[in-house]
Structure formats: C-alpha cells, structure tokens
C-alpha cells in the first residue's frame, strides 16, 4: 500500500494531531498513523468517519491516482 499523504495533508489542514483525529472517530492514534503510512487498509465505515471529520469526500482522501 502507498502512503496516504492526502489524509495527512487534510488532517494538518484542519490543525488536528493524529491523537485528536483518532479521538473524534473512536480509534487509536496508532490506527491513524498506520493508515497514513499505508500499513493499514481501513474499512469503508472508518473511511467515512474520517471524511466526515475532515470535511472531505472518499475520492479526495482515499482514491489513488
């Protein structure tokens, strides 16, 4: 899996740490870190929660070009 730099950029754009994002969606900081590093493939439900908090669409955060 590739690193998810779009997720990290969107998180930083919202001025959120990995911990803050994790708390808002009910996962651990390690989960957010693993998604950003490309070590974890999140479920669609988790992707939707992340999108909602960051104000982005699935395409904007998770679609690979």
The predicted model gives 13-29 an average pLDDT of: 98
Q: What is the reported pLDDT for 64?
A: 79
pLDDT number for residue 1: 64
Tell me what the mean pLDDT of segment 26-52 comes to. 97
Contact between residue 22 and residue 31 where contact means Cβ atoms under 8 Å apart = yes
Which of 58, 41, 44, 49 lies closest to 23 in space, CA to CA? 49
Mean pLDDT of the residues in the chain:
95
| DSSP, res 25 | H
Phi, psi (deg, nearest 5) at residue 54: -90, -5
- Indicate the pLDDT class of residue 2, thresholds 50, 70 and 90: confident
């Amino acid at each position: 899996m590739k690193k998810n730099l779009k997720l990290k950029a969107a998180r930083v754009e919202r001025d959120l740490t990995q911990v803050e994002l994790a708390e808002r969606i009910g996962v651990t900081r390690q989960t957010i870190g693993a998604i950003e590093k490309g070590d974890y493939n999140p479920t669609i439900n988790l992707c939707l929660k992340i999108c909602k908090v960051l104000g982005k669409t699935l395409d904007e955060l998770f679609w690979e070009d």
